[in-house]
Chains A and B, each alone.
Chain A
Amino acid sequence: MLCRAACSTSRKLVPGLGALGSRLKHSLPDLPYDYGALEPHINAQIMQLHHSKHHAAYVNNLNIAEEKYREALEKGDVTAQVALQPAIKFNGGGHINHSIFWTNLSPNGGGEPEGELLEAIKRDFGSFKNFKEKLTTVSVGVQGSGWGWLGFSKEQGRLQIAACSNQDPLQGTTGLIPLLGIDVWEHAYYLQYKNVRPDYLKAIWNVISWENVTARYMACKK
C-alpha cells in the first residue's frame, strides 16, 4: 500500500496509562518477505539480525526516549529535552531509515526503473549507469557508519544523491525526501561480505525494488 510505503513509521495504539489516556507507540514493521528471500545477495542471517535485533532495538529505544521527552516537555525542562536529542535522532533515525530500507528491497527486485523515474534519473544524472555509479561510490565512501541515499529536492524539483552519518535521517537533516537508501553500517553486510563493502554494493542492485522507489518518487513529486 502506498501509505505504508511512503509513511516511514508505523504506530499502534497501546492500552492507556491510567488517566493519561492511550499513547501511540512505534512498532517494528513486518518484513514484506522472508529473511532468506533476498539470497544470495543478502543472506538470511544478516536479514534476521538486521530486522529482529538492530531495527527492533531502535524501535524500543525510540519509545523509551519519546516517553522521557514527553515528561521533560510536561515539566518545561529544556535541559533534559536537549540532553534527549541524540537518543531521539539516533533511534528515531534508525527506525525511519530501516522502515524505508525494507520496502526498497524485494526478492523480485533488480533491473532498471522505467517511465517517469527513469526520465528524471536521465535528466538529473545523465544516465541510469551514471546514477548507479554515483550512488555506489557515495555509499562505499561513507567513513564509518551511515547511509547512501537517492533523494528528491522539492526546492529544486530534482533528484539528488547524499550520504548521511550514523542514523541521521535524510529528510530531517537535509530536507531531501528519501526515495532509496543503502545501509552501509557494517552490520548490514559484514557476516557475508566481511570488509569488502564494494561487493555488497554490487550485490544489492539485484534486489532494489524500482516499483517502491517509483511510488515514493511519484508521491513526493506532487
Chain B
Amino acid sequence: MQLHHSKHHAAYVNNLNIAEEKYREALEKGDVTAQVALQPAIKFNGGGHINHSIFWTNLSPNGGGEPEGELLEAIKRDFGSFKNFKEKLTTVSVGVQGSGWGWLGFSKEQGRLQIAACSNQDPLQGTTGLIPLLGIDVWEHAYYLQYKNVRPDYLKAIWNVISWENVTARYMACKK
C-alpha cells in the first residue's frame, strides 16, 4: 500500500502535472504536433491518477461482505446473482494480459451494469464511456510483493476489503 500510494500514484500525479503544463504551452502556440505527441503521457498519467483515486475509495478496512439494496438488485438483474458477478469480475481481472484493470462500470446508454477490462492506465470512462464504480488494479505492483505470480490469490483476498458503501454511492450518483 505504501509503495502503491506514495510512489506509483504520486508519480502519476507529478507526471500528469508536467504533461498538462507542456500541453498548455502547445495549445497556446497552436502546435498540434506537440499536442498529439503529449497524448500518451496525458492518457497514461491522467488515467493512472483517475484510476488510483477511485481505487483507494473502493477499498476499506471495514469492507467485504455483499452489497444491499438497489445495487444488489441491479447486480442480480444484470449478472444473475452476486456470485455470478463476483466470478465474472474475478475472471476478467485475472485474465488481463500484462498490466491493466478489471472494472465494474455503469452504461448510461443501456441503463445497466457492465464488466470491462482496460489495458495499462487507460481510464474506463475516457476509453469506453462506462462510468467507473469498482476497479481492481492488476498491475503486478499491486500485489507482487505479497502474492508473487499468483494473481488469483490476490483476487480472492481483495473481496475482503471492497467498500460496498463506496461502490453503492458511485452507482446512485450515476443512475440519476
- CB–CB B139/A143 < 8 A: no
> In the complex, which residues of chain B have a beta carbon less than 8 angstroms from the beta carbon of A144?
98-100, 119-121, 139
Instruction: Select one of B44, B120, B121, B140 contacting A190, CB under 8 A.
Output: B140
Any chain A CB within 8 A of the CB of B112?
Answer: no
| Interface size counted on chain A using CB atoms at 8 A | 20
> In the complex, which residues of chain A have a beta carbon less than 8 angstroms from the beta carbon of B100?
144
A130 → chain B closest CB, angstroms: 22
- Write the chain A residue with the least CB distance to B11: A195
- Write the chain B residue with the least CB distance to A52: B149
Any chain A CB within 8 A of the CB of B37?
Answer: no
| Interface size counted on chain B using CB atoms at 8 A | 20
Instruction: Select one of A49, A187, A194 contacting B7, CB under 8 A.
Output: A194
- Write the chain B residue with the least CB distance to A87: B97
- Write the chain A residue with the least CB distance to B41: A143
Instruction: Select one of B121, B141, B148 contacting A53, CB under 8 A.
Output: B148
B residues 94-118 with Cβ under 8 Å of A? Answer: 97-100
- CB–CB A187/B140 < 8 A: yes
> In the complex, which residues of chain B have a beta carbon less than 8 angstroms from the beta carbon of A190?
140-141, 144-145
> In the complex, which residues of chain A have a beta carbon less than 8 angstroms from the beta carbon of B119?
144
Any chain B CB within 8 A of the CB of A101?
Answer: no
Any chain B CB within 8 A of the CB of A151?
Answer: no
Any chain B CB within 8 A of the CB of A191?
Answer: yes
Any chain B CB within 8 A of the CB of A60?
Answer: no
Given A86-B97, A191-B145, 4 additional A-B pairs, CB 8 A:
A49-B148, A144-B120, A167-B97, A195-B3
Any chain B CB within 8 A of the CB of A10?
Answer: no
B60 → chain A closest CB, angstroms: 24
Instruction: Select one of A49, A90, A165, A186 contacting B139, CB under 8 A.
Output: A186
Any chain B CB within 8 A of the CB of A148?
Answer: no
Any chain B CB within 8 A of the CB of A54?
Answer: yes
A-to-B contact residues, CB < 8 Å: 49, 53-54, 57, 86, 90, 143-146, 165-167, 185-187, 190-191, 194-195
- CB–CB B145/A165 < 8 A: no
Bound-state CA distance A143–B3 (Å) is 18
- CB–CB B8/A195 < 8 A: yes
- Write the chain B residue with the least CB distance to A185: B140
Any chain A CB within 8 A of the CB of B40?
Answer: yes
Instruction: Select one of B121, B140, B149 contacting A57, CB under 8 A.
Output: B149
- CB–CB A194/B3 < 8 A: yes
Bound-state CA distance A185–B100 (Å) is 12
- Write the chain B residue with the least CB distance to A195: B7
A13 → chain B closest CB, angstroms: 29
Bound-state CA distance A53–B44 (Å) is 29
> In the complex, which residues of chain B have a beta carbon less than 8 angstroms from the beta carbon of A146?
98
Bound-state CA distance A144–B97 (Å) is 11
Bound-state CA distance A86–B8 (Å) is 29
> In the complex, which residues of chain B have a beta carbon less than 8 angstroms from the beta carbon of A53?
148-149
Instruction: Select one of A90, A166, A167, A191 contacting B144, CB under 8 A.
Output: A191
Instruction: Select one of A49, A166, A195 contacting B149, CB under 8 A.
Output: A49
Known: A53-B149, A144-B98. A186 touches B40 (CB 8 A): no
- Write the chain B residue with the least CB distance to A53: B149
Counting from the closest, the 5 A-B pairs by CB-CB distance are A186-B140, A166-B98, A144-B120, A144-B99, A145-B98
